[in-house]
Each structure stands twice: as structure tokens, then as C-alpha cells.
Structure 1
Amino acid sequence: MADFPFDVVGFDLDGTLLDTSGDLTAAVNHALESAGRPPLTVEQVRPMIGGGSRHMLAQGMAATGRCSEAELDVLQRRLLDHYEANIAVTTAPFPHALDAMDALATRGVKLGIVTNKNERLARKVLGELGLTERFGAILGGDTLGPGRSKPKPDPILAMVERCGGGRAAFVGDSIYDTTAARAAGVPSVAVSFGFLQQPIEELGADAVIDSYAELVPTLERL
């Protein structure tokens, strides 16, 4: 176990570690309904996830008509209130994710979370799923302050430091993840089952997995 190539493995949250698409779609539709807009399907919302709640809502509003910044301010608050109150209705880890985390922990690897979700909401959903204690660091899009979330490398570098340092890898599903990892000098693994906004080949990841059953062997090859 001592020769495992990584000391720290970080994960994006939405679309990477957790399938949050159902609960996020419900929150988006709650905001849209309050503005008199038609609802969107999970399939429509899934590619909108990853850049934070305002980005997701702005795309949802654009799909159903125009929207001013002032209206976005009001609707984002409605979205977040609904989401926080219903944060883990359908949300669950992707298949084999817990087994992969167990296998990494057995090898002495420290685990971290770097998400563009608000840190308080990230901690809430992880807490409701009983996962918080698995992670040595949990960083949200607001943790380090304005302008320092992914695709900036700052939160990945902070995650590695808070997990004790060493060689790290990062697992994600978006260009935010692979760009941040590359800028941090960290190898990236993309999950093909995530909330992809573009073809997986365009993410520029160092490796791609189709299931969490492939994660540990893939990291060993990296």
C-alpha cells in the first residue's frame, strides 16, 4: 500500500461524487415556476450544473426567456432556499463511489472536496448523507473568497495543503475541474457519467473512467 502514487485525492461534488441532478432540477424549477416560466427536465438541467447556482439559474432562465440581473438576484435566493430545504431527497453517491473511497482510505490516501457549490450547502449535503468525516478538507466556491473558485487553481492547492500535502490527483466532470487541476499542477481524472457540458474528450483530462470501479487502477497507472 505504501507505493500508491498519490497522497491526496480530491473530488468535485455535483456530477462527480454525487448525483445531485434531481434535487438541483427541483430547485431550478421552483425558481422558474415563481417567475411564471415552464419547468425544465433533469436532462436539460444536468449540463447547466457545475458553475455555481447563479450560473445554473441564468442558463435555466435563458432557456425559457430573458432575465435581468435584478431578477436573477431574487430568483437565486428562492432557488437556494428551496434547495437547502430539500438538499438530499434524491441525491446519492454514484455507483461504486463509496467503495473507491474506502479503497483509497485503506491505502492511506487523504480525501478532499473542491466544489463550486457554496461551502455551507456542500457540508449540509455531505452531512445528510453521512459522508463528512471521510474528507480532510471541504472547499466550496465561496471558501477562499471572490474570484478564487474553479477554474482557478487556488481551491485545489488549498485542499492539498489542508489534507497534509504530498502528491495529489483530482477527479471531476467539467472543464472547471480539469482547468483548475492543470493550473495547480495536479493530474486529473474525468468521469464520463458526470454532468458533461461538452464531449469528455474536450476536457483534456489525464484519464477518463466510466465507473468508480476503475478509479484506483487508473490512479495507479497515473
Structure 2
Amino acid sequence: MYKCCIFDLDGTLVNSIYAIQRAVNLTLDAWGLGPINVEQAKMFAGDGYRPLLERSLSACGDEKLEHVQEAGRRYLEIFKECSMYRVEAYEGIRDMLAFFKDQGMHLAVLSNKPHERTVENVTEVFGRSCFERVYGEREDLGIKKKPAPDGVWSIMREFGVEKEETLYFGDTNTDMRTGANAGVDTIGVTWGFRGREELEAFVPRLIVDYPSQVVEFVKEVNGIV
């Protein structure tokens, strides 16, 4: 029986691609580079802000990443101002979360984006009471970012749940590897930043096109009529 659901944020719970794209392009503008388009932003995001910037800089002509250090500082400042730009929950997400809460399941968010921006996104979109735990990147606390399993395991310990009681949700190969590394059942979602083919390569427990499919899956596994 599943008792705990841990969600990636960007591309899984919320469509935040326009905020990510905007912050990157405003950062690159300092050197007359860019812009990156939405599809590039979808491919570059998912592993934290530094890989995002490295990929963006390289794609825009700075192959030697001469500006990466300054870009990192600039991006973090800019992202404070635009991290909520056009951010919204994907259709059906709120109903899915309401179902889980009605079942008394533990809900958490685990993201690779800066911690404060993760909390801001979740609070602004879902309020303060939807999730019991909301975590962004916390490597300064010794918790390695995804795809390392550290974050998933830390949340499981906090909730007192076992691997077989935990579901992890995500939209990228990083998320699929995170779930596999943590040894928990993983659900890939196709409404986010990457396609079905990328997810299928990692053979998750389930790949879904709509949040309602997750509800039906959990009902079946947990024996809910």
C-alpha cells in the first residue's frame, strides 16, 4: 500500500518553463548572448541552476563557459524577481492532490531548483497546507541533489515510511533515475518538459498522460473502491 507521494516540481506539478526561460535570458543578456527558446529551456532544465546555465551558455556561443561563475550569481538574483512568472499548476493536479490528502497520504515536494524559490512556487500555487514537506536544493546540508537518492530517503525517514510505501513522480530522465536510485516505485508524467520516449528508457512503474490516471492506479494498488 502506498502511503507517501514525493513530487518533482517543475514540469510535474507546475508549468514553470516561462519563468526559467525568462531568468536565463535576462542573465545571458548581460553578455549579449541568447535568447534560448522554450524548447531549449525544457531540455536544459532539471538538474539545478548551474547545469541549466552551462547548457544555455554553451548553446549560445560561450562553449568555454567563461561567464558561468558570474552568470550563476546573476541568475540567482534575477530569479528572485521572476520565479513566479506565468507559473501555474497543470490541469488535474489539484484534484489528484486532493484525492491523496483525502486518503491520508503523506505529500512532499523534492526539487533541484533553489530551495527558497521552490518554497515560493509551492506556497503561491498550492498554499501552505497542501504539502507536509517542501524541499529544493540542499547540498549545503549534505543532501545531494537528484538523481542522488538522498532527498527521497530523507523525506521517507521524516515520514516513517518504507520504500514499498513510497511513490516518486517526475517528468525527466533525472527524475526516473532518482526514483530508481532510491529504490521506490516511480511514475513518469508526459505533460512536463520531456517526452514519453525519454521516460520509457528508464522503465518506471507507470507512465501517465493525465493526473486522473495516477488516481486510478493508486486506487487499484491500495484497494480503494
Question: Same fold by TM-score, threshold 0.5 exceeded?
Answer: yes
* 2:55 is equivalent to residue 55 of structure 1: no
**2:214 corresponds to:** 215
Q: Find the residue that maps to 1:111 and give its secondary structure.
A: strand
CA contact (8 A) 2:9 2:110 kept: yes
Of 9-18 and 178-187, more deviation after overlay is shown by: 178-187
**Unpaired runs of at least 5, structure 1:** none
Residue 44 of structure 1 deviates from its aligned partner by: 1.6
Supply the distance in 1 between the matched residues of 2:208 and 2:52 (Cα, whole angstroms): 25
CA contact (8 A) 1:112 1:136 kept: yes
TM-score where L is the length of structure 2:
0.90
**2:83 corresponds to:** 87
Look up the equivalent residue of 1:102 and give its one-letter code.
A
Supply the distance in 2 between the matched residues of 1:168 and 1:130 (Cα, whole angstroms): 21
* 2:119 is equivalent to residue 120 of structure 1: no
Give structure 1 regions of 4+ aligned residues with deviation exceeding 3 angstroms.
67-70, 143-147
How many pairs does the alignment contain? 218
1:96-175 to 2 correspondences below 5 Å:
96-142=92-138, 145=141, 148-166=144-162, 167-175=165-173
Q: CA 1:15–1:114 in 2, change beyond 3 Å: closer, same or farther?
A: same
Look up the equivalent residue of 1:212 and give its one-letter code.
P
Residue 129 of structure 1 deviates from its aligned partner by: 2.1
TM-score where L is the length of structure 1:
0.91
Residue 69 of structure 1 deviates from its aligned partner by: 5.1
Q: Find the residue that maps to 1:114 and give its secondary structure.
A: strand
**1:46 corresponds to:** 42
**Unpaired runs of at least 5, structure 2:** none
Could you give the per-residue CA deviations for residues 75-109 of structure 1, whole angstroms, max 9, x where no partner exists?
11211211111111200111110110000100111
CA contact (8 A) 2:58 2:65 kept: no
**1:78 corresponds to:** 74
Look up the equivalent residue of 1:193 and give its one-letter code.
W
Q: Find the residue that maps to 2:179 and give its secondary structure.
A: helix
Residue 143 of structure 1 deviates from its aligned partner by: 5.3
Look up the equivalent residue of 2:75 and give its one-letter code.
L
**1:184 corresponds to:** 182
Supply the distance in 1 between the matched residues of 2:216 and 2:148 (Cα, whole angstroms): 28
